[in-house]
């Protein structure tokens, strides 16, 4: 009996949101956790700017799996919640309810950016294609009690910006501007599809 060949594409993420999004493109893939600590790159943010920095992180995630998956294409993505581009200031994933609350209150009534870098690399040659998706989001003014209730119920502790638009977090917003709403969830499918076509995977 012939053994089934593994998918050509590897997603360098175990995020259920990114996996669910990528399945919409109907390209077979397997998911694997990247062996990379994003915080080790923090010192490069100021020199690169947020857009190039997001792509750098995505590329490192993908390349961390290259030796493990020879002959495959590896897709990495990284999303940054950006308060300011000049000088660049990025909000990290909160990790705790207290930090999530502080993040939401800082964004309350203000505009911020979500910048998502996507990089597709060929493991054997290190050939790479990249794209950046940017959304401009404005939160309405809300009370600390409302923010606390949201955090307690939905636990957005592993989310840039401390919210999810897929759940009741959408109620915290006044406006959202961008080309592809899937980018807010974590993987901009229009940009990703374009990269996959360049690699002749789609």
Q: Which fold has domain 9-198?
A: Maf protein (3.90.950)
Question: Reduced to 3 states, what is the DSSP secondary structure of residue 119?
Answer: strand
Decide if 180 is catalytic. no
**What tens-digit pLDDT sequence spans the chain (202 residues)?**
445 677 899 999 999 999 999 999 999 999 999 998 888 888 899 999 999 999 999 999 999 999 999 999 999 999 999 998 888 899 989 999 999 999 999 999 999 999 999 999 999 997 999 999 999 999 999 999 999 999 999 999 999 899 999 999 999 999 999 999 999 999 999 999 999 999 999 9
Helices and strands in the chain, H and E counts: 7, 7
Mark 20-35 as b/e (b = at least 16 C-beta within 10 Å). ebbeeeebebebbebe
pTM of the model: 0.91
Q: Which residue is catalytic, options 78, 126, 133, 145? A: 78
């Amino acid at each position: 009996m012939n053994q089934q060949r593994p998918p050509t594409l590897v997603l360098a993420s175990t995020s259920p949101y990114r996996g669910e999004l990528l399945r919409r493109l109907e390209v077979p893939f397997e998911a694997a956790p990247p062996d990379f600590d994003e915080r080790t790159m923090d010192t490069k943010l100021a020199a690169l700017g947020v857009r190039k920095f997001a792509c750098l992180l995505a590329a490192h995630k993908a390349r961390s799996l290259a030796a493990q998956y020879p002959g495959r294409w590896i897709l990495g993505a990284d999303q940054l919640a950006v308060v300011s581009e000049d000088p660049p200031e990025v909000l990290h994933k909160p990790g705790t309810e207290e930090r999530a609350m502080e993040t939401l209150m800082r964004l309350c009534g203000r505009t911020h950016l979500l910048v998502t870098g996507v990089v597709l690399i060929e493991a054997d040659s290190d050939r790479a294609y990249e794209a950046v998706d940017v959304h401009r989001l404005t939160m309405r003014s809300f009370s600390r009690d409302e923010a606390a209730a949201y955090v307690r119920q939905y636990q957005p502790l592993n989310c840039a910006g401390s919210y999810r638009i897929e759940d009741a977090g959408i109620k915290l917003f006044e406006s959202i501007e961008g080309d592809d709403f899937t980018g807010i969830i974590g993987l901009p499918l229009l940009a990703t599809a374009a990269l996959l076509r360049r690699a002749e995977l789609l």
